[in-house]
Structures are given as C-alpha cells and as structure tokens.
Amino acid sequence: VSDTHDGGVNYDIAAAVNMPIVADKAAVRVSAFQSHDGGYIDNVALDRQDVNRSNIYGGRLDFLVTPTDALNIRIAGFSQDISRGGESTADYGFSGAPLYGSVDQYRKTAEPFVQHFRLGSLSVADDLDWATLTSISSYQTIRTQTVLDLTVAYGRYCAYEGISCSSVGLTYGMSTDKFVQEVRLASKSSTSVEWLI
C-alpha cells in the first residue's frame, strides 16, 4: 500500500496456490493479482480529481501432467484486464509553464482506456531417448478501447457548421489475434555434438 502526493491511495494484492492432483503425475498452480493506482492528474474542465487512476487485475492457471516419465504436458492460461479513467498527461505551454496546474489537464470529454488480454498455451515434450520432441502452441487476443478528447482541435467546426456541441470525442478500438506454433527436435545435451531442428 502506498500514497501519492496530491493523488490517491495505491495498492497491490497477489496470491498463488500450488496443488498436487495426483502425486508425481499432475499438479495445478493458480495465481491472481490486482493492482490499483490512485492517480494524481486532475481534469479541471470536468472538475474531476485523479482521473488517471487505474485498475489492473488478472490471473494465471497452470496445469502440468506427466503421464509417463518421458511425457510432459503443460496447459497454461493467462488473463489481464486494464481500466484507466483518463490519460496521465498534464497541459503545459511552449514556455514550459503549466496552463492550469502542475498536474492538471483540460479535457471536455473523459478519456477512459480499457484493455483485455488473454493468452492460452499448450506445451508437450516427449523424451525419445535419443532426442526430445517439443511442441508449443499458443493463442493470444488483445482488445483495446479508448477515447480521445478532440474538442480543442475540432470544437470550433461545430459552430462553423451551426451544430451545438459542448465537446468532441473520438472513440476507437484495436484488436489483435495471434497464433504461434513451434515444433523442435533437440539432441541430448550429454552428446559430444548437439543439434536442434
């Protein structure tokens, strides 16, 4: 737990549990975390304090199975969500002087940020006596959405077009999907010549 000058209270919480399911054959590890940043940037246009406060939380599940001494199977999943109420930027002029305050900004539209990250993977390793065959598969998704305040740049065009608008904001999102597959065959490390395919 910590405190930020002219800001809010911050804290981090994390926990992990390891559990054997079948002795020497299967086990699972579960972990979770949450991180809260109290923020310190104030939005004077909307009269909101600590708009850049954020929360990050998520967890990981790791499952390991060794049905034989030679075969190792590992399944893992990771999840993380980020939410932030505003940007961590303050407004300064070209002279270097703050326009509203040392940690103040002027945004007529709130600028929240949200991101969801997911990752799943499967790893299989088989000891063939003369070499080790390994396959690693993973799939990842990222979904991001944020808002930008464009009132200063485009607000005057509302009046020019005869439209009444108190603020102009742009909402946009990005998404990424990734699949990765790796297969490798590696020699024993005890040999005089080592190779990897």
Q: CB of 100 within 8 A of CB of 44? A: yes
Integer Cα distance of 116 and 119 in angstroms: 10
- Tell me the mean pLDDT in the region 141-151: 93
Asked if the model's pLDDT at residue 13 lies above 80, the reply is: yes
| Four-point Cα dihedral 113, 169, 5, 94, nearest 10 | 120
Asked if the model's pLDDT at residue 2 lies above 80, the reply is: yes
- Per-chain mean pLDDT for the chain: 92
pLDDT of residue 135: 97
Q: Are strands 42-43 and 104-105 parallel, antiparallel or unpaired?
A: parallel
Measured at the CA of 21, the angle between CA 20 and CA 24, to 5 degrees, comes to 65
Integer Cα distance of 27 and 90 in angstroms: 49
Asked if the model's pLDDT at residue 154 lies above 80, the reply is: no
DSSP 45-59: TTTBS-TT-EEEEEE
Asked if the model's pLDDT at residue 159 lies above 80, the reply is: no
- Tell me the mean pLDDT in the region 4-14: 92
Which pTM value belongs to this model?
0.83
pLDDT category of residue 188 using cuts at 50, 70 and 90:
confident
Q: CB of 9 within 8 A of CB of 38? A: yes
